[in-house]
Each structure stands twice: as C-alpha cells, then as structure tokens.
A and B are shown apart, each in its own frame.
Chain A
Amino acid sequence: MIYFDNAATSFPKPKAVIEAMEDYFFNVGGNTGRSGHRMAIKASELVFNTRELLARLFNISDSSRIVFTKNITESLNLAVNGFLEKGDQVVTTSMEHNSVMRPLRYLEQKGQIKIFTVQANKEGLVDPAVFEDILKKEKIKLVAVNHASNVTGSLVPVDVIAEIVSRYGSSILVDAAQTAGAYSIDVLSDNIDMLAFTGHKSLLGPQGTGGLYVREGIKLAPLVRGGTGSNSEKEIQPNFLPDQLESGTMNIIGIAGLGAGVKYVLKQSVSKIRQEEMKITKMFVKGVGKIDNIEMYGPRDISKRVSVVSFNIPRHAPSMVAYLLDKQFNLACRSGLHCSPSAHKTIGTFPRGTLRFSFGYFNDAAEVEKGLTALIEISRERYSHNKQTEL
C-alpha cells in the first residue's frame, strides 16, 4: 500500500517509537508524580525527557511551559477557552481547521468574543499587512493562525505576523499540526506566545498525544481540574505549570512513544526532513501540472508550502477517485473537506472538496511515480458516466 495520507496521521512510525512504548509497558509501568517509588520515578523521568526533547525541537528554554494533551484539538481548545474572556476580540484566517474555528465560533455564538477573519487568496496565502490593519484599528487579545493549511499546504509567515502581533501588545496562537517536525519552528526567534502541536503527524508519535507551549507570563484557565500529584493538601487547583493544566493520569505510554518520535526527528534534523519531503512534493506538483484534466490548488511557489497537495479531476467526484486509488491502485489518500470548510470556500472547492495527497518522510520518488501514473489512468477513464460507481 502506498500511504499518501500523512496529513491525517503519519505512517509508518519509526521502530524506536514502538520500542519505547513497549519498554514502558513491560519495564516501567508506574504513574507520574503520584508516588515516590522507582517505577513512578522512571515514569516521571520519561515524561520529563519527552518534554525536554520537545523543548529542544522548538527552542523552548523552560520545558515546564509545555503541557501534554491528547491531541492538538485539545491544545487549541485549551488555548482558546483558557485565554479568552468575555468582551475579547480575536483575529483568525479563512484557512483555519475546525479545531480552531469551532471553539472560536462557539464563544462568538455565546456573545463572548468578536472575530475578525483575514481572508486568504485563492492559493491559500495570507498577507501579513492585513493583520496589521486590523491590529491598528482594534484592540485584539489573540491572533490564532494555522501555520500550514491541511487543505492547500500553504504556509503562513508566522514569524512576520508574530512580530506585528507583539508590536501591538497582542498574543499569537499557532496551530502547528501540519508543520511541527516537518518545518523549522523556533518559539523565541519566531515570537510565538502559544504553540499547539499534535504528536501523531510529523512528530511521528502515536495517536492520543499532543501538547501546548505557553510562554512565561501567559495565564490560562484549565479545561479540566483534578488530581495532579502536587499540592495534594489543597482542594484548589495548583497554579503552576505543567501541573495546573495536566490533571488526571496522562497518556504515559503515548508520551514515551512521542519522545522516541521527536528524538528521531532531531536525529534526522528538521531541515533534512523538510528537504526530502519537498523533493518529492515538487516532483508530484510538477507531474500533476502535466496531466490534462487535473486542477491543482495551493501555491505554485513550492517554498510557500508543506508536503500537502490538493487537486481535483473535474469530471470525477473526489470520493470516487479516492475509492479507485484505494481499491485499484493500493494508494491511501483523503478526499472531501478535511475538517476545513472555510479553507475550501477560500479556494473555491466548497462543498465539493478535493483529493489530497500528503507526503511523509518515508515516502519516496517511486511511490510518487506510481501515484502520478494512477492519476493519469483515472483522469482518462470515464468512470463518472457510470452512475453506480459515483460515490
């Protein structure tokens, strides 16, 4: 099977990830922070080590400012709900995933916040000057941006926007679901206040892991309160990180795997991963450009995108093409709206959606060749004339 659905979740995982999880399961076993015996200490060490590795990856000076979550959706909900208060104003973009959009729209519907949306162009690119125009006129508490779109692969110049945001005394929240591990992120030089990431995509960890970096000085209300293993004499939630935002037993086995994934990324280096992924992305984009009857979306300029490519064969429904790729060509990809209706409206593919190929570090040129060949064949066939195969 050719796996081109790495934007949904990466596959395969490095062997070290599975080994680290096995090691926790068979040899560590204890809970973190709760007890003082050796098994508990080992578990706490393991979680500490993963935090430190993530801190190294994102250039975070104090790893206690990273809290673990079950995925980036939870991280984004924590940031949005924990940071915003009644009367606050927020800037976001038309390219956001529903994991940013829905928590924001919910608060908006309740009459608590006002949202300003920066409209991206047809390629999915936003203009930093538009952020500045809004920040100049309005008092904005938070700017929430997607680092790279999971629909078009278009990158947002986070460092440029964050510099503007800091000049106006506002704060920025970055959704790094599609970039963490695949594109260089430095919270210090990029001026990032809150960085949300998920463990199971380019960080190569297991599902059920994610996290949020919160800059020193930013206070968030927890989404969940409860046992932390610290301050146990008090019935009030501790007010220090990471404990304040990590109530309840965490996904220790998952965090063990995530640590091994991040270690793997650091060893390969983000720049090498980026280079390899973009090499095959470029090859695919070039190849698709030569196929008649295929419409491709996202930036033409390869340096402005990650390894996510959306396209359509206008004669065929995306779901049918995805079905054929799966059944006849052994190729896994994703069709539809990718949880991002607003992004599809922006590029003009709502409600039809697109086909999406997303490449990972373990894909190679031969697989891309096969993918292109399959698309050529499908684009020539008149499948859509047979109503029964129209899905």
Chain B
Amino acid sequence: MPLPQLAVIVFMSAHDAIKAKNKLEKARIVHELIPTPKEISSECGMSLRIEKPLLNRALELFRTTDLRYRNDLL
C-alpha cells in the first residue's frame, strides 16, 4: 500500500506549534510534532506533520486563529 503523501507545517515559534497541536487534538485530526526537516527549512524548532488529505482541514482550522506558519510538501 502506498504511503499517503505528507505535508509539513513549519511554525515561526514553538508557541504557535503547541497552539496548533492543541487545535488539531481538539478537532481529532491526526498529526505529529516533529523537528523541522532540513530540506524544508534550516530553522530549528518544531513543525507539524500531517497527511496531505487532512491538510486543508487543518489549515481551515488555523485560518481563524492568528497562527504564524507556512506549509510545504515533504
């Protein structure tokens, strides 16, 4: 079975990463906090990995808050 494509959301601050994690948990959207992958950004700190089909739902959820992030495909 092919693995679903993954999207990575990179946060400006750990504060936003935790806020996003809480939002996703509440909405029961499967996700994982990971160290930001090198190929995406040289920043350290936290990113969120999510299956691509769930990305739009997650971004919709973030849109109503003032989360500071950018997203990328892995």
Contact = CB atoms under 8 A, between A and B. Distances in A.
B15 interface: yes
B9 interface: no
A48 to B, nearest CB: 4
A258 B18 CA distance: 19
Given A41-B33, A240-B13, A243-B13, A232 B18 contact: no
Nearest to A233: B42
B45 A48 contact: no
A35 interface: yes
Given A48-B15, A48-B19, A232 B46 contact: no
Contacts of A35: 35, 44
A384 B7 CA distance: 78
Contacts of A242: 13, 15
A128 interface: no
Interface residues of A, number: 26
27 contacts: A34-B44, A35-B44, A36-B33, A36-B45, A40-B46, A41-B21, A44-B17, A47-B14, A48-B14, A48-B15, A48-B19, A48-B22, A64-B13, A229-B14, A229-B44, A230-B12, A230-B13, A230-B14, A230-B44, A231-B43, A232-B43, A232-B44, A233-B41, A238-B12, A238-B13, A240-B12, A243-B12
Interface string B28-66: 000001111000011111110000000000000000001
A229 B45 contact: yes
B36 A36 contact: yes
Nearest to B35: A36
Given A48-B19, A232-B42, A33 B13 contact: yes
Contacts of A36: 33-36, 45-47
A32 interface: yes
Contact of A41 (B12, B19, B46): B46
A141 interface: no
Interface residues of B, number: 23
Nearest to B15: A64
B13 A48 contact: no
Given A240-B12, A242-B13, 10 more contacts: A33-B45, A33-B46, A36-B34, A44-B17, A48-B14, A48-B15, A64-B16, A230-B14, A232-B44, A242-B15
B68 interface: yes
Contacts of A41: 18, 21, 33, 46
Contacts of A243: 12-13, 15
Contacts of A231: 12, 43
Contacts of B19: 48
B33 A230 contact: no
Nearest to A31: B14
A215 interface: no
Interface string A228-265: 11111100001010110000000000000000000000
A51 interface: yes
B44 A44 contact: no
Interface string A187-230: 00000000000000000000000000000000000000000111
B66 A232 contact: no
A230 B66 contact: no
For the complex of A and B, 8 pairs with smallest distance between CB atoms: A36-B35, A33-B14, A48-B18, A233-B42, A44-B14, A232-B44, A243-B13, A229-B45
A229 B18 CA distance: 14
A110 interface: no
Nearest to A32: B14
